[in-house]
Amino acid sequence: MDYELLLNEIINIGKEMIKSGAETNRVEDSMYRMLESYDIGQCSVFAIQSNIQVTIRSKDGTFITQVRRVHRTGFNYDRLDYLNNLSRYICRNQPSVAEIQEKYDGVMSRKKQPAYIEYLASLMGGVGFGVYFGCDLEDTLVGIVVTVLVLVWFGRRLKRKEHNLVAYNLIVSFVATAGIFGAYHLGFGNHPDRTCLGLSMVLISGLCVANGLRDLVSRAYLSGFLNIIHAFVGAVGIACGAELAMILFRGEMYEMCLTPSVPVQLISCGIASMGFAWLFKAADKQAFYVGIGGSMTWGAYLIAQYFHGDAFICTIVAAAVVAAYAFIMSRYHRAPATIFLTTSIMPVVPGASLFYMMYGLEQGDYVMANQQAITLATTCLAIAFGFLLVDIASQYVYKQKE
C-alpha cells in the first residue's frame, strides 16, 4: 500500500465534501474512519472551511503529513451524498488506491443539474418566502420577473467573473432591488420591501450564522467563527446593494410582516424549503421530503407559539423537530442528515434579522440594528440548542443499542 497516495485520495474526498456543504466535524470523522480502516497506527485530522491537515503513521513507522487548501465552498448535496457513500464503501472494503481513484472520478464526473432546475429553485425559494412575508399577486409577479432576469440569468453570468462574495452580493442585490422599486414606481407591485426581502433570502447567509453557533456549541470554535464571519460579510454586500438602490429610487424597508393566513404560511415554507434543496443540488426525491420538512418546521413553531408564545422556546421546539426529522430521513434515504437539516430549517433561519441588522447599520438606525442583532443571536442560539438536544438524544439511543 502506498500510504502517500492513499492519504492524497482520502484528502481529496474530504476536500470535496467541505466544498459541497458538509460540516467540518463530519468531514473529520469520515476521514478518520476511512484512514483507520486501513490499520494505520496513528492518525490526526484537522479540517476547517479553508484548510485540511492530516498526519498519519504507516505500518513501517514513517510519519506522513499532507496539507490541502480549500479555496471555495458552496452547496452540492448530490455530490455530497455520493461522496458519503464512497467513504462508507472505503470503510467496509478497504479498496486499492486505484479503485478509490476510479470511484472518486466517477462521483466528480456526475451529470450536472439542468439549468432550468436553478431557475425553478430560485423562483420557489425567493417567491415562496416573498408570499410568506406577505406579498400579494402583483408583488409575486414582479418577484418572478426579477428572480428570472436578475438572480438567475444575470447572477449566473456574473458568477463566472466575480468570485468576491461581497462584490457579487452587492451587485446582484443592487440590480434586484432597483428592479423591484423601479417596477413599483411604474405602478407594478404594492409591497416592494416585502418582495425585496423575499428575494434577499436566496442570497442571505443566515444559515451560516446558525451553523456557526452550532459549531461553537460543539466546541469547533474556529469553524464556528469562520461560518459567522462568512455570513456577516455576505450580508454587508446585500445590505449595501439594497441601500444604494433605495437611495436611487427613494425606497424604504418597513417592519417585517408575515402573511396572516396560516395555511399559506405552511405551503409557502414548504415550497421555499424545497426550492432551497434544489438550489443546493439535492436529488429530486430528497427535495420533496425537504419540502415536507419545511412545512413541519414552521408548523411546530406555530404550535409551540400557541401553547407558550416565547419566540426562543418556539424556535428550540422547531429546531428539535426538524433535527429529529432529518435524523429519520438520513436513515431512510441513506444520505447525510445535513441535506435535510440545513434546508428544512430555512423557515426559522433569521435571514431577515441579519438583513435588517445590516440595513439598520447602513441607515444609522442603531436602535433597529441593536434589536435585530439580539433577535439574530437568540434565534441562532435556539436553533443550535434544538439541534444539540436531538444530537444528545440520538447518541444516547446508539449507546443503549450497543
| Residue ending a domain, choose from 87, 108, 129 | 108
Of the candidates 313, 318, 389, 351, which has an alpha carbon nearest to the alpha carbon of residue 196?
Answer: 351
- 198 and 327, same structural domain? yes
pLDDT mean over 256-281: 89
| pLDDT band at residue 85 using 50, 70 and 90 as cut-offs | very high
- 39 and 133, same structural domain? no
| Residue ending a domain, choose from 76, 108, 140 | 108
Residue 1 has pLDDT above 80, yes or no: no
Cα–Cα distance for residue pair 318/304, rounded to 1 Å: 8
Cα–Cα distance for residue pair 13/39, rounded to 1 Å: 19
- 122 and 88, same structural domain? no
At 209 the pLDDT is: 67
Residue 144 has pLDDT above 90, yes or no: yes
- 184 and 51, same structural domain? no
| pLDDT band at residue 207 using 50, 70 and 90 as cut-offs | low
- 129 and 40, same structural domain? no
Residue 402 has pLDDT above 70, yes or no: no
Residue 210 has pLDDT above 80, yes or no: no
Least confident stretch, 7-21, 111-125, 252-266: 252-266
H or E stretch at 350: none
pLDDT mean over 54-63: 86
- 82 and 143, same structural domain? no
DSSP 3-state of 344: helix
Spatial CB neighbours of 272, under 8 Å, sequence gap ≥ 6 = 124, 125, 128, 129, 132, 201, 294, 346, 347
- 142 and 73, same structural domain? no
- 101 and 195, same structural domain? no
pLDDT mean over 318-341: 90
- 239 and 194, same structural domain? yes
| Residue ending a domain, choose from 108, 132, 164 | 108
- 120 and 101, same structural domain? no
Longest CA pairwise span in the chain (Å): 76
| pLDDT band at residue 86 using 50, 70 and 90 as cut-offs | very high
- 74 and 153, same structural domain? no
At 288 the pLDDT is: 94
At 84 the pLDDT is: 93
At 2 the pLDDT is: 85
The secondary structure of 9-30 as a DSSP string is HHHHHHHHHHHTT--HHHHHHH
Q: Model pTM?
A: 0.85
Buried b (16+ CB within 10 A) or exposed e, 305-343: beeeeebeebbbbbbbbbbbbbbebbeebebbbbbbbbb
Residue 363 has pLDDT above 80, yes or no: no
Percent of the chain with pLDDT over 90: 36
Range of the domain at 283: 115-401
- 337 and 196, same structural domain? yes
Mind listing the pLDDT tens digit for each residue in 60-76?
Answer: 788 989 999 988 777 89
As for how many domains the chain has, the answer is 2
Of the candidates 203, 181, 198, 184, which has an alpha carbon nearest to the alpha carbon of residue 131?
Answer: 198
Residue 332 has pLDDT above 80, yes or no: yes
45 beta partners:
54
pLDDT mean over 97-115: 91
Least confident stretch, 37-41, 107-111, 280-284, 396-400: 396-400
At 88 the pLDDT is: 93
Mind listing the pLDDT tens digit for each residue in 166-197?
Answer: 888 889 989 999 999 999 989 898 888 888 88
At 34 the pLDDT is: 93
| CB contact at 8 A, 211 and 24 | no
Residue 293 phi, psi dihedral angles, 5° rounding: -65, -35
| pLDDT band at residue 361 using 50, 70 and 90 as cut-offs | confident
DSSP 3-state of 259: coil
Pairwise pLDDT comparison (352 vs 43), residue with the higher score: 43
